[in-house]
Amino acid sequence: MDATLFHNPACGTSRNTLALLRHAGLAPTIVEYLVSPPTKPQLRQLLADMGLPVRALLREKEPLFAEMNLADPRWTDDQLLDTLHRHPILMNRPVVRTPRGTRLCRPSELVLELLPDGPLPDFVKSDGEVVRDHGRRLPG
């Protein structure tokens, strides 16, 4: 199964998601979006595939979010997409795409819904939390 991970290696959730993908036997294409930011059309497509509004992809905990006053409703979707492209640190992560769908995987175990039919053996996240896969999957 093909998988693409929009990844920030400094993010624990992103690292756990990558580890879960590998635990499932996948070798995902890794897009380090801080190095190679998605284009505005790519961001639009990711959001459309996830069925999410633009604001759902904004990382509100990022200090730049407050500095730029991005919570202000005056920002249009088009402006926010431009801002996400120019400042990829604002992108909420990780985002995973497989043939079963595309989703923002916060928490990391949400990626299980995008994997091949399971269940997988238990997985231990970096903080020691055990993830049990009950085999629930999105239709593929």
Active site residues: 11
CB of 48 within 8 A of CB of 103? no
Written as one string, the DSSP assignment of 103-139 is: EE-SSGGGGGGGSSS-PPPPEE-TTS-EE--------
137 burial (CB, 10 Å; 0-12 / 13-18 / 19+) is middle
